[in-house]
Amino acid sequence: NAGVTQTPKFRVLKTGQSMTLLCAQDMNHEYMYWYRQDPGMGLRLIHYSVGEGTTAKGEVPDGYNVSRLKKQNFLLGLESAAPSQTSVYFCASAPGGTGNEQFFGPGTRLTVL
Contacts of 72 (CB under 8 A, 6+ apart): 24, 25, 26, 28
Q: Verify binding: residue 28, another protein, rule CB under 8 A.
A: no
Q: Verify binding: residue 44, another protein, rule CB under 8 A.
A: yes
DSSP label at residue 59 = S
Q: Verify binding: residue 27, another protein, rule CB under 8 A.
A: no
Per-position x/- string for 46-85, each x denoting binding to another protein as judged by CB under 8 A, each - no binding:
--x-x-----x-xx--------------------------
Nearest to another protein of 12, 56 (CB atom): 56
Q: Dihedrals φ, ψ of 48, to 5°?
A: -145, 170
